[in-house]
Amino acid sequence: MTQVFFHFAVCFPTKSSLKDDDSGDHDQDQGSPKDSEKEKTEDEDKEQNSSKKKMVVPGAGEHPLQYNYTFWYSRRTPGRPASTQSYEQNIKQIGSFASVEQFWRFYSHMIRPGDLTGHSDFHLFKEGIKPMWEDDANKMGGKWIIRLRKGLASRCWENLILAMLGEQFMVGEEICGAVVSVRFQEDIISIWNKTASDQATTARIRDTLRRVLNLPPNTIMEYKTHTDSIKYVLISYIKTCRIVSV
Amino acid sequence: MSTDVQKTTAKAIPSTRRVTISDSAHMPHDYSTTPGGTLFSTTPGGTRIIYDRKFLLECRSSPVTKTPPKGLPVIPGVTSPPSGDPTEKTQNGELLNNNNIPAPEGSNTGDDSQFEMDI
């Protein structure tokens, strides 16, 4: 109980430092990385970074992306509750990139999700958006979820993130990021967007997913709003909690 | 993104859209490269940098991708070999995780090993 309340008391205010503007020029999260393990990999590009807010810029001759993105990795300690407090502590930044080439540089030196062990996730989110429900960019949002039988995650994840990086979804600023979750008997990929109530957007994301993922027949896709996910966690861990418009 | 334009479901690109421009910085640099090109001036939010899968895969063979990014955190089993595994190295630009996919050149055409899809 205290764990969750502590989380909401602490995390919501700090999120306000995360700007979510529509210019696409997402601020670096300079606010409150409490995670001391957080690695700053953007330093290598600092010298090129004069007045721009972005920490990472495309190198000479590289192909710029519409947005900068950050890779994250998380691994849940078995048996511990999935409260977001421990989630935030378990998540690590791998690094940020601004170009196609920089993306491959990270991707080629990370294990493929299908080869991950245990209860692990890769997250790829726009720079400045934390892969958490409570981030300003996510709190009104939701996600498409696709459950995959074992053996498909690596291929589907690659197709998913290539579509995201290449702006194949055509939903403006709506995409926040993508997640691949390696679980015991299945793997899950999801793509998060900002506005769960925007049905035109969620439908277009779904249709693009079908187009780019090469999903096996009878794959089920479901859309979940983050507020539902938050309520689920609260109900699970605080049985008597009254939810006041999360 | 505003939703006031159309309540259509899976339509292509909106043909008409009113966008209030309050600052010249909001203007896209290039309006007219759509035919045969990759920039769509009417995409919600303005001009976008769009790449298809095939092009992105082609960029994979760029020399810069051969070495790990500076500051890549060492996470055993994730960004480096599992501890105790002497067989793979991240030094000297060797790729550690691509053991079960074809070489980049082979995968450029894309759909070689895609499984089938049923929409």
Question: pLDDT by residue (tens digit) across B76-85?
Answer: 889 987 764 4
Cα of A232 to nearest chain B Cα, Å: 27
Place B113 in a pLDDT band, splitting at 50, 70 and 90: very low
Instruction: Supply the pLDDT for residue A116.
Output: 92
φ/ψ of residue A109, rounded to 5: -115, 20
- Whether chain A has a CB inside 8 Å of the CB on B38: the answer is no
The residues with which A92 forms a beta bridge, in sequence order, are: A73
Q: What percent of chain A has pLDDT over 90?
A: 58
Please name each of the domains of chain A with its CATH number: 2-24+40-75+85-245 (3.30.760.10)
Going by pLDDT thresholds of 50, 70 and 90, the confidence category of residue A45 is very low
Tokens 């791998």 belong to A94
Most confident segment among A145-149, A225-229, B40-44: A145-149
Does B97 contact A115 at a Cβ distance shorter than 8 Å?
A: yes
Instruction: Output the CA angle A90-A91-A97, nearest 5 degrees.
Output: 165
User: Min CA distance, A166 vs chain B (Å)?
Assistant: 4
Tell me, yes or no, if the pTM score tops 0.90: no
Q: pLDDT at position A150, please?
A: 94
Lowest mean pLDDT among A25-29, A186-190, A224-228: A25-29
| Residues 122-151 (A) with a CB less than 8 A from some CB of B | none
Give the tens place of pLDDT for each residue, A52-103: 445 799 999 999 999 999 999 999 876 655 555 567 778 999 999 999 999 9
Task: Tell whether B27 lies on the interface with A, counting CB pairs under 8 A.
Answer: no
Q: For residue B72, which residues of chain A lie inside 8 Å, CB to CB?
A: 39, 41, 94-95, 106, 109
Judging by beta carbons within 10 Å of its beta carbon (0-12, 13-18, 19+), is residue A229 exposed, middle or buried? Answer: middle
Distance CA A11, CA A4 (A): 10
Segment A163-188 mean pLDDT: 96
Q: CA-to-CA distance for B6 and B12, rounded, in angstroms?
A: 12
The number of beta carbons lying within 10 Å of the beta carbon of residue A200 is 21
